[in-house]
A = this chain, B = another copy of it.
Amino acid sequence: MRAAVLRNGVVETRTIADPTPGPGQLLVRSLACGICASDLHFMDHPEAGADDDSGMSTYDTDVDIVMGHEYVAEVVDHGPRTERRIPVGTRVSSLPILFTATGVKIIGQNPETPGGFGEYFLLSEPMARVVRSELPAELVSVADAISVGWSAATRAQVTPREVPMVIGCGAIGLSTIGTLKRLGVGPVVAVDFNAARRETARAMGADVLVDPAEVSPYAAWRDVATGSPDGARDLVAAAGLPGSVVFECVGLPGVLDGVIMGAERGTRVFSMGGPPAGEHLHTLTAKRKGINIQFGGGPSPEHWDQAFEAVCDGSYDVTPMVGHSVGLDEVPAALDDARDADGPARIIVVPTR
């Protein structure tokens, strides 16, 4: 098959062997697959796997790896010992998890579990979900990215007495914003240096847009929490500020520590990013402020299913997040384009082009 192949830190499009479905697996044809920042992190940081003893993700630089874990695909064949409950030709997606003879693996992050940046890949039949939707595959493929913000925003259980702030308006921040609005909480404050990303945040429902080059996000948050930049401060001081919930969706060193140093006492932080090397945190300040940090963790299967159905039934509109599509030959250039914060939140690879 044709595939965009990662080897030794470089991606090039060439022909490699077709994958063969093992027991319980489906062979599927990739229809659309979004380029995610974690594809870039994965290819740039082979060392990041060293701390991870889960065995779910392996970057062997000497072997071909096909990335891509936000996919819609079409069933082509059923492997041995499958129930065959999903007919050939059906459009499907899944949490990017494959059950293999050597354990549970992330699809698109191991040599033996290719992803959607090639013509064919493998799904575990129990994980596969049918796309019950007339929407184009390019839009539905964004559901996996939506599930991350969906899960964080849902688990946060933001109350009417709290004002959420989303720092970083990439796909994860945008999906967090969209889910917070869907849950009816807010006003939602959205922070990004990039004007285009802020506009996308507005399209996803953000109520207040902050350029941190212009104003401190924490000062901006206080203005929103106190009702206005100019008035009502004494009133709020008496009643107490609303609670502060910060979603850190950047993942560059210093951002999480900046939240600790800048945010209000008692702030609840959802840290979705995370630089590969970790970072120095002012834990004494965190202690004095009584900060709570919930680190990442990814979506639960239930949250993934909920987000997927909401995208499929059209009630969760992802169109503001979706940019142009590219064929397999354009993947290497598109990966570079995806590094540009001025670009769309998602570039979609369409291998059938």
- Identify the A interface with B (CB < 8 A): 48, 51-52, 54, 256-257, 261, 266, 271-298
For A284, the closest partner residue in chain B by CB is B274
Smallest CB–CB gap between A255 and chain B, Å? 10
A–B Cβ pairs within 8 angstroms, 23 of them: A51-B261, A51-B282, A51-B285, A256-B283, A257-B278, A271-B287, A273-B287, A274-B283, A274-B287, A275-B283, A275-B284, A277-B284, A278-B283, A280-B281, A281-B283, A286-B296, A288-B296, A288-B297, A289-B297, A290-B297, A290-B298, A292-B293, A293-B295
A74 nearest CB across to chain B (Å): 31
Q: How many copies does the complex hold?
A: 2
Contact A294 B292 (CB under 8 A): yes
Contact of B297 with A266 in the complex, beta carbons under 8 Å: yes
| Nearest CB of B to A301, in Å | 14
6 other A-B residue contacts (CB within 8 Å) besides A271-B283, A286-B296: A51-B284, A257-B278, A266-B297, A275-B283, A277-B284, A290-B295
Q: Is the CB of B294 within 8 A of A284?
A: no
A325 to B318, CA, bound (A): 68
Are A287 and B296 neighbours in the complex by a CB distance under 8 Å?
Answer: yes
How far is A280 from B257 in the complex, measured between Cα atoms in Å? 11
Question: In whole Å, how far is A308's beta carbon from the nearest beta carbon of chain B?
Answer: 20
CB distance from A48 to the nearest CB of B (A): 7
Residue of B nearest to A278 (CB): B282
Do A288 and B256 touch (CB < 8 A)?
Answer: no
Distance of A47 from chain B, by nearest CB (Å): 11
Q: Which residues of B contact A292 (CB under 8 A)?
A: 292-295
Contact in complex: B276, A284 (CB < 8 Å)? yes
Nearest-Cβ distance from residue A249 to partner chain B, whole angstroms: 12
How far is A130 from B39 in the complex, measured between Cα atoms in Å? 62
Query: Is B293 in contact with A297, judged by CB distance below 8 angstroms?
Result: no
Docked complex Cα distance between A298 and B291 (Å)? 11
Are B288 and A54 interface neighbours, CB within 8 A? yes
CB-defined contacts of A266 to chain B, threshold 8 Å: 297
Cβ-defined contact, A293 with B290, below 8 A = no
Please, how many angstroms separate the alpha-carbon atoms of A90 and B4 in the complex? 80
Give chain B residues whose Cβ lies under 8 Å from the Cβ of A257.
278
Query: Is the beta-carbon distance between B290 and A274 smaller than 8 angstroms?
Result: no
Most chain B CB within a 10 A radius of its CB, from A52, A261, A272, A292: A292
Measured between beta carbons, the chain B residues less than 8 angstroms from A285 are 51-52, 278
| A162→B85 CA distance, assembly (Å) | 38
Q: Which residue of B lies closest to A270 (CB)?
A: B292
Within the assembled complex, what's the spacing in Å between the Cα atoms of A271 and B9? Answer: 39
**Which partner residue on chain B sits nearest A41 by CB separation?**
B284
A290: B residues at CB distance < 8 A: 294-298
Counting from the closest, the 4 A-B pairs by CB-CB distance are A290-B297, A287-B296, A286-B295, A278-B282
A52 nearest CB neighbor, chain B only: B288
**CB within 8 A of A295: which of B273, B280, B291?**
B291
